[in-house]
Structure 1
Amino acid sequence: MTTAPTVRPDVTHPLDRLTAPEIDRAREILDAAGLRGETVRAALLALEEPSRDVVRAHRDGDAVDRRVRAVLLDNATGRSRTVIVSLTGGGVERVVDHDPETDGQPPIMLEEFVAVDEIVKADPGWVEAMGRRGITDLSLVAACPLSAGSFDLPGERGRRMLRVLSFLQHRPADHPWAHPVDGVVAYVDLIERRVVELVDTGVVPIPEEEGNFDDPVFTGPPRTSRRPLEITQPEGPSFTLGGDVVEWEGWRFRVGFDPREGLVLYQLAIDGRPVLHRASVAEMVVPYADPGPVRFWQNYFDAGEYLLGAQVNSLEVGCDCLGHIHYFDAVMADSDLAPRTVPNAVCLHEEDAGVLWKHADLFTGSANVRRKRRLVISFFATIGNYDYGFYWSLYQDGTIQLEVKATGVLFTGVYDERSAPWSTQVAPGLAAPFHQHLFCARLDVEVDGPRTAVEELDVRRVPRGDGNEHGNAFGRAITRIRSEAESGREADANTGRRWRVASAEATNRFGDPTAYVLHPEGQPALLADDSSSIARRAGFATKHLWVTRYDPEQRYPAGELVNQHGGGAGIPEWVAADRDLDGQELTLWHTFGTSHFPRPEDWPVMPVDVCGFRMTPQGFFDRNPTLDVPPGS
């Protein structure tokens, strides 16, 4: 069962999602200022979020001051700029011109992906390379445009580029990922609209076996063993809605959506007490391990380069979501600054989550059990071959959880002696390179008030001796993270490492600061060498945790213009300021993810692989906050 998507009222809050009329108004203002023209395109239009202070001061009925941030690119010259537009004031407030040699490039636009197919298929060298491989029908070649990275290669600095690998289809419905045309890559200048370099390391066999997971001829007949499983809520859901605001089981929060980050949760509070001002996945990077001449550059920032939110799927009941569903649409601007609506972009629903608590008492005969529910807010985005689901869950006991579900199709190449050390053979002659999926969550913490402190918690073994005669003692080591320069921390499963965010303003009945604890999964951080290009560009991914002073201008952990940036932007710049963290307004940046060594079972479509983290209350409540949950479902 579903409810209708949210009908957007007039904007009444500083964090309300952008509306179509606001996007139209932004275009009008930019046109009036002479900042657009036939060749100027918008790579990004997003809400310029007000600071925490402004949001905290807002009261129902107050006037709302709205601003947007536009990243503009002139396709004729390659010139780009960021423009801050006041929708309320009706004018341009600030224009920042970018130097492509030092500042990086705007995100890649959909129309540029489309243009690449035309560019490479018009290049005589590329056509000849295909011919050497026996390919004459170019309509069956899928030219795959990929972000170029930054490697200081001759002639590349300042160019707006994509690199292009190719895949063959046996027929239009055949999935091309099964047939990589390996050994050849085109370097494309998007402004000049031409191939500026063609790398061809020689002809290798194109894998023949198909991988059409949606074709019954390939998959065989569907199994018949499943019986119906129905999820019903005859009295409707337990959550209530008011525009973008959701309330459920003591939780209250606001739903936002950003074209770069996707789903954003604002002002998460439980029982009227704040926990997080803002929560999102602010960046993700997918570095590949093949060092060969055709693929050494494969490192993708799916938020900063490809705009994760802009690739959001429309979700379907019974497929993506089950139960009583409420959907939020996503309204974004296209490259011509026309509003486009993605229906059913964000899913909101309740789930049964197993046992909440249970005890059968030996002495009193009391036997009690309660079941757990969670509220799930999610979206799915497709970035090329991979599909990512982002699932934020809130629990009745105050737990916050993020699960990222990676699925889709493996990126492929030819499996041979050269690629074997860096890949898995998943079909005859077909390689899936080793790679990582590393995500960075931005958590603007606000535990019982804006001022907090962060502590690292480790278990501590106690040697046998005086005071521990039987050797059974163990304790806990607590390290206060006092400055930004010392905030880069690594997870450690051997010490059970956690990070505690303690309120600097509130204490519980025992006199201890109320707190929330971040539980990392502790999988490897970035595996590339410290001197590599990707380590410079994705400095955030070299550690599992960073803590910075809250700054509304410091939004993205790899910097504003990630595409083709040389590195060092974002968190490495910010922590170099070494600001004091103790009892300040803070942002946590948590890196988590998976190191993917593909297996044959991941082909031709990958079962979901899950990673994420949890935040749990510690001394935030004076006792178990779920004692009043009734028995039954």
Structure 2
Amino acid sequence: MTETAPALAETDSAAVAAALASLRPEEVAASRAILVREGLLGPDGHVSYFGLLEQDKRTLLAPGARPEPRRFRAMLVDFGTGASHDVVVCPAEDRLVSVVELDPADGQVPVVLAEFGLVEEIVHQDERWRAAMAKRGLTDLTTLRVNPLSAGAPATDEAGRRIQRCFTFVQKTPDDLGWAHPVDGVTVMVDVVTREVLDVIDYVDLPVPQEDGNFHLPEWVGKPERAGLKPIEITQPEGPSFTIDENGVLDWLGWRLQVSFDQREGLVFHNVSIADDGVQRPVLYRASIAEMMVPYGDPSPQRWFQNFFDCGEYLLGGFANSLELGCDCVGDITYLDATLADNAGNVRVIPQAICIHEEDAGILWKHFDNWNGSSDSRRNRRLVVSFFVTVGNYDYGFYWYFSLDGNIELEVKATGVVFTSAYPGPGYAYASELAPGLGAPYHQHLFSARLDTMIDGTVNAVDELEAALVPRGPANPTGTGITQTVTRLRTEKEAQRMADNAKNRVWLISNPERQNRLGGDVGYVLYPEGKPALLADEQSDIHQRATYSAKHLWVTAYEPSELYPAGDFVNMHPGGAGLPKWTAADRDVDGADIVLWHTFGLTHFPRIEDWPVMPVDSAGFTLKPHGFFGANPTLDIPETVGDHCAPGDGGHEHHGHEHHGHEGHGA
């Protein structure tokens, strides 16, 4: 039996896993019954968010402690009264734990699905909007799609209202891709509670692009499918190398991690650990994407507000796709369903929302030695846990990789359809032209990974490591000396950092209470990609609302209520919440229970090749062990023996082989 690291050895791992597991249908149903009984969920009420309110890890992981009854957080909005509530309910005790009515000045609960259809119905009845459309020769309402968008920071006369700002697109037929035909220059403001159009502003009359973009219709593509693609078959005749239990605890070749799912964050991992000489050593207590924001860089009057918080405003996890074998995932696949609550508070299940599989990852290590004549190599493989979402026009795949050598990587794959506009003309500074008269504003996709680290325990510290040239002198007479500088980040303000690839800047998370066999602190290094952070003026609305995205790294002292880097209620929040508010206290993070927040993402200047559907573009980060192990942890990986590379034959002889099919299965 595998042992557990001393820091957590006295906890009941099965009880902890049960306390942190994904939602159970009976818990959703029981919570809804309490909300209805207590008068919080009436005929006009909507459940915006429903999720597990996790117990403070300091009590949950305390030696000998037993988990408390599970509690759940619900964010509610009533379209009859306009009131919103932040509620905690405990179905095991059949009671409300707390109820807070929100002040609209502090933001709104996230957007609910009912608002999407409601807004189009309201706008279609407005004479001002109809007049703006008629001016452009658009009179067939059945072809006009109204696209409701989060409103951004509220204007002075919008304070306290729940608003959507709307654009219009032409969808010529039910099969047509409406994104090809934006009706640019007209913005509509809708109050979804009072169900009224507050204003219709016709800024500029730009021609509606006419060329279709129906990539999904074979007849539109206009050319035969590319010939010559031979099948690639991925088989595991003996099944996968991992197991997973009823609480989502997954074991794979030394790795152990708990997989769960949240309506706001999507995939959430708890208690990620890796085996080392028979001891299960913790690396992360909790990991997720806590926010994702897409700021658009066109400052024109009709677009200045266009910035979307896909987690905080739209609840990204709720838009998870049901995945399909051979399309979204290939090989021997284990799928997990996601249990959520719908806007009525009833149980909603997304079948096959999570994909788990193994994949070959190329060479792990290799060496041919000229002195002793030995030749050895090992192949790498990785465990992949992923999900895909569609939020409006964009589709995002989130792929977490766990490798044999202890590496953890996240790759976000962005695809789908770019957000379109009319193109004002040659030389326009804030958009690309994709097709005749069709533009796509420049924009960014900025993610915040929340990494609650637990490197061999909860006492961790962060050092900034940089490559440095040593000045010529007595210690470096030839001028060829290269060294690495180490700077301890001791407080929350010191730990607000930017990546710098020119200096090979990385961040080492270590445990000062645990040393490796050479006497150094055990640790993991966060390797950032170092792409641009938020490109917006510090005084801009979006900078105030998304301050988290202006730095690549933040480090905070652990506080269980601090979950979202832009604050709990991002929708129509004026700004200043989340990380800038928490870190104003400048708490000590040197040898403490800490959380890292890493901003990464894409800065997208759309290309012609991104239309009408965008090939995948990706961003992410890597965590690598650094002094965590005593040596290469993969020396025990057996030599690969297969049809194409037999021991001693140099791997050059081609052998015939048989294909073995093994279908994916559910869990």
Residues 1:407 and 2:415 aligned together: yes
Which residue does the alignment assign to 1:355?
A: 363
Q: What are the Cα deviations for residues 91-116 of structure 1, in whole angstroms up to 9, with x where unaligned?
A: 11111121102x10000000111101
**What is the aligned counterpart of 1:265 among 269, 272, 278?**
269
Structure 1 range deviating more: 216-225 or 375-384: 216-225
How large is the RMSD of aligned CA atoms in angstroms?
1.5
2:45 corresponds in structure 1 to 40
CA contact (8 A) 2:408 2:622 kept: yes
**1:474 CA displacement:** 1.0
Cα distance change, pair 10–525 in 1 and its aligned pair in 2 (3 A): closer
TM-score normalised by length of structure 1: 0.96
Q: How far did 1:32 drift?
A: 2.2
Question: 405, 417, 420: which is aligned to 2:425?
Answer: 417
The answer as to whether partners of 2:463 and 2:486 remain within 8 angstroms in 1 is: yes
Q: How does 1:1-400 map to 2 (within 5 A)?
A: 13-57=18-62, 65-101=69-105, 103-151=106-154, 153-219=155-221, 220-243=223-246, 244-271=248-275, 272-400=280-408
Match of 1:270, as an amino acid?
I
In structure 1, stretches of 5+ residues that fail to align are 1-8
3-state SS, counterpart of residue 13 of structure 1 = helix
Over 3 Å counting, the alpha-carbon distance change for 1:347 and 1:73 in structure 2 is same
8 Å contact kept, 2:361–2:382 = yes
Alpha-carbon contact 1:209-1:427 (below 8 Å) kept: yes
Are 2:286 and 2:451, in contact at CA under 8 Å, matched by a contact in 1?
yes
Q: What residue in structure 1 maps to residue 6 of structure 2? A: none
Deviations 1:430-475 (A, max 9, x none): 0011000000000000000011001111111111222211111011
Secondary structure of the residue aligned to 2:32 is helix
Q: Distance in 2 between matches of 1:15 and 1:59?
A: 17
CA distance in 2, matches of 1:428, 1:206: 10
Q: Distance in 2 between the 1:521 and 1:57 partners?
A: 36
CA distance in 2, matches of 1:237, 1:47: 30
* Per-residue deviation, residues 183-231 of structure 1 (Å, max 9, x unmatched): 1110110111111011102322111111111112222221122011000
Residues 69-103 of structure 1: CA deviation (Å, up to 9, x unaligned): 011111112111101111221111111121102x1
Partner-residue secondary structure (3-state), 2:299:
coil
SS in 1 for 2:60: helix
In structure 2, list runs of 5 or more residues that go unmatched.
1-13, 642-667
- Which one-letter code corresponds to 2:260 in the other structure? G
Seq. identity, %: 51
Structure 1 residue 170 displacement after superposition? 1.8
In structure 2, what is the Cα distance between the partners aligned to 1:519 and 1:202? 45
- Rounded to whole Å, the distance in 2 between the matches of 1:330 and 1:208 is 40
1:142, distance to aligned residue in structure 2 (A): 1.2
Contact 1:145–1:164, Cα closer than 8 Å, also in 2: yes
In 1, the alpha carbon distance for the partners of 2:240 and 2:349 equals 26
Change (3 A) 1:591 1:12: closer
Tell me the residue number matched to 2:512. 504
Which one-letter code corresponds to 1:105 in the other structure? Answer: Q
Following TM superposition, the consecutive aligned residue runs of length 4 or more in structure 1 with deviations greater than 3 angstroms are: 9-12, 57-60
What count of residue pairs does the alignment treat as equivalent? 622
Change (3 A) 1:11 1:250: closer
Q: Deviations over 1:338-371 (max 9, x none)?
A: 0110000000000000000000000011001100
The answer to whether the 8 Å contact 1:83/1:95 transfers is yes
2:650 alignment counterpart:
none
Structure 2 contact 60–67 (Cα < 8 Å) conserved = no
> Closer, same or farther in 2 for the Cα pair 1:235/1:419, shift >3 Å?
same
Pick one of 626, 645, 649 that aligns with 1:618. Answer: 626
CA displacement, residues 378-432 of structure 1 (integer Å, 9 cap, x when unaligned): 0001000000000000000000000000000010011113982101101011001
Q: CA deviation at 1:156?
A: 0.8
Q: CA deviation at 1:64?
A: 5.4
Q: Which residue of 1 aligns with 2:603?
A: 595
